[in-house]
């Protein structure tokens, strides 16, 4: 799990300028706390409020489509054969495509066929939906001039900014992100500084043995975690899961196929 350290700072300043303003919003969506943090100028203006509202609306839409806890979600209706995939929100077919691509790229370590608790497997893109939802929700926030943002979805983060906010130098707004020690969750094991990018962590410290290894057909219960950073939270999350449960072949695939991403095992 990762979290923004409480004091983001401007990058590249030996004598930092006064910290930009900061506001945060929190909602419970997709069964987890999701917070949106803004830093910059004029955070109370209507455009900022509207962009945050639009971001949360995207997250609620993704929950209504993919929730495994809502009987009326498109995913659950599909799994009960009440509707064909062509009758679902187009996002369902896109999730199926992304899952198939991820299975190939990770050498079989990632799958969207997961145990149901009833002894069988069913289509369940939970492992990719959160990151994908956050990536989609971030789009309205990127239109806010002079503002940087961080979306925290259950400990996985996406950091971004308006295109005119620099990525380095005195005008950049950098976020310090702490990654917890999976063997002692009270301790921050490592920190990183980002002005753009995603941070996803997979492991057993928070939820126990919940990650499924499709090759063995078993849940993985070993201690530790894998954190992946890169341009999108969708693929950072997919690769974090795959690297945690995967074999050497998956690590080799990551090194050759995910050159814009970095991994850290703890």
203, pLDDT greater than 90: yes
Phi and psi at 91, nearest 5°, equal -60, -30
pLDDT-derived band at 15 (thresholds 50, 70, 90) equals low
User: 2-11+21-265 adopts what CATH topology?
Assistant: T-fold (3.10.520)
Residue 191 in contact with residue 176, Cβ under 8 Å? Answer: yes
Residue 229 in contact with residue 199, Cβ under 8 Å? Answer: yes
pLDDT digits (tens, 9 = 90+) for 30-88: 999 999 999 999 999 999 999 999 999 999 999 999 999 999 999 999 999 999 999 99
110, pLDDT greater than 80: yes
| Annotated domain spans of the chain | 2-11+21-265
pLDDT value at position 85? 96
pTM of the predicted structure, to 2 decimals:
0.92
pLDDT value at position 9? 44
Mean pLDDT of the chain: 93
CA-to-CA distance for 67 and 254, rounded, in angstroms?
29
Give the mean pLDDT of 189-203.
97
pLDDT value at position 117? 80
**Count of all residues that appear for the chain in the document:** 266
């Amino acid at each position: 799990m990762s979290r923004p350290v409480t004091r983001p700072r401007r990058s590249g300043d030996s004598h930092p300028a006064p910290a930009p303003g900061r506001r945060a919003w929190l909602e419970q969506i997709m069964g987890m706390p999701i917070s949106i943090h803004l830093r910059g100028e004029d955070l109370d203006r209507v455009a900022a409020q509207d962009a945050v509202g639009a971001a949360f609306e995207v997250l609620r839409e993704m929950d209504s489509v993919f929730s495994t806890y809502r009987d009326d979600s498109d995913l659950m209706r599909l799994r009960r054969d009440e509707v064909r995939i062509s009758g679902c929100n187009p996002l369902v077919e896109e999730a199926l495509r992304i899952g198939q691509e991820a299975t190939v790229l990770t050498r079989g370590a990632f799958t969207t066929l997961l145990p149901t608790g009833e002894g069988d497997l069913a289509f369940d893109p939970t492992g990719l939906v959160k990151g994908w939802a956050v990536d989609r929700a971030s789009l309205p926030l990127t239109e806010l001039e002079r503002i940087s943002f961080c979306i925290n979805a259950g400990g996985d983060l996406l950091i971004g900014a308006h295109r005119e906010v620099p990525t380095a130098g005195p005008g950049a707004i950098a976020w310090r992100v702490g990654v917890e020690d999976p063997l002692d969750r009270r301790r921050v094991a490592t920190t990183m500084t980002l002005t753009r990018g995603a941070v996803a962590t997979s492991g057993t410290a928070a939820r126990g043995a919940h990650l499924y290894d499709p090759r063995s057909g078993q849940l993985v219960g070993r201690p530790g975690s894998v954190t992946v950073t890169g341009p999108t939270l969708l693929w950072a999350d997919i690769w974090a899961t795959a690297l945690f449960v995967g074999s050497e072949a998956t690590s080799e695939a990551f090194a050759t196929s995910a050159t814009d991403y970095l991994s850290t095992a703890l």
